[in-house]
Structure 1
Amino acid sequence: MPATGSGQQTRSGQHWKVGRLAAETGLTVRTLHHYDDIGLVRPSGRTASGHRLYEESDVERLYQVLALRQLGLSLDAIATVTDGDTSLSEILDAHRAYLDDQLAATRTLRAQVEMLSRTVRTSPDASVADFLQVIRGVIEVDDIFERYFDKGQIADLAERRAMLGDDVITAAETSWQELIPRVDAALSSGMDPACSEAQEMARQWMDLLEQFHGGDEGLRDSLYRMHEDNAQQIEQEFCGPSREHIEFITKANEARST
């Protein structure tokens, strides 16, 4: 039968010589030879001239080895797992969970780099001290976030941030900076939360929160719990809303709903 682009086709299925398998997987021939020598991934057959010939089941086992290797297992431990009762689906699930964690960490790191990049753009003369301050702030925010948001939620937030883009994020930050002083002034003047002006501020407030959580109830609840437990720190260190701001907006929002 004719050969295909990804290996030789035989009556018993597709086969790969070691060079072709190395080329398609990105592994080296030396690595495949080593896996064969230690009994980790042995080719199921040989050509008439004695060259290694891998079958589809060998490729599946090779994936298992590489997935477990990425999870941090030693070759000896991998041999024990692959020779035991662990199924391919279990290895796939473990590999996927690992990649989800890595993806969440990468998204978080990207958000940190983006924050530093924005600092440089807005403050061309930023000093090392400025960077250290931002880094400390990032770490503090991360510590708070990790207490209230799970890894999946943090990844969702990072993905949402990337989807919205810098312009929308910057506009939202500006809107918060303008809205909080307006609510502060309303509190100082004794404004009735049920009046139309207060209700309009409440609408803007809820719209900004909607950009953050996207209507996800889990994210919204985590956000509220985080603020409830850390209101003073958020207000003092990150210029966030106070408990009084939240209470005023809550009353104004209730008036909107009646």
Structure 2
Amino acid sequence: MNASGNASATWKVGALAETCGLTVRTLHHWDTIGLLSPSRRTPGGHREYTEDDLIRLYQVLALRSLGLGLETIATCLDSDSGVGDGVGVGVDPARLVRDHLAGVEAALTALTSLRERLRRMDAELSAGRAPTSSALLDALRATGATAPDRAHALRDRLDADQLRILQDSAGAVGPAAHYLLEVEWPELYRRADRLRTAGVPPTDPRVRRLAARMDELSALFSGGDTATSAAVRDAWRDDPHAMSGEPPATTEGWGDLATYLDHARKGTTR
């Protein structure tokens, strides 16, 4: 690594792993799958991480702390909404820091609450008294504290019960819901549309994987309710601009894309 404070500071994999509390094996794996690769190569051929790589590493770790899987993280960080250079467009750095901070503060609050309850239970036990049922339940609630609710609705295409299912499911997912719904899901549609416009048949494994992931997200936010999942798909078909939050010109033709994805799910060609 170069001197501290140098704008061109770089890190070898071992030093970076030790600094961040990761293993060298983890960083090598992330390099292999393309999630985080060292950008600089020394004259001697050694690969080193740059400060830009550290920014991406923070994003990976912050998104992982919100419960996102590595594939979803890669999709979010590499998403291209059609604005700028296409690198990390889908993730707002300020929002990510706020979500990360909120998660840390919520965890601290939960741990502080649990600590106080455990202290009271310890005092009771030390005095030879068994903790009350109420104290035990309080400790259990503090141990299993849930993530804060997050409102989500799909305009007026779903009935009240379906909207409630979506809202409850998004609340259970927590802050990760934003990245799944507003970053990964539109990016999956963009990738599928690029394959469609390139003439790739819907039976291609790449298309079918994208459709399968969309269905996983639909099931996650619909609580497995098939009617709600179907309503969500219809909303994407009828108004992709509203669903994705992207300009109408960007989503032009996404109605045909919905049919294309239906063929992919059925394993048939148009």
Using structure 2 for the length normalisation, give the TM-score. Answer: 0.44
Structure having the larger proportion of residues in helix: 1
Using structure 1 for the length normalisation, give the TM-score. Answer: 0.46
Larger radius of gyration: 1
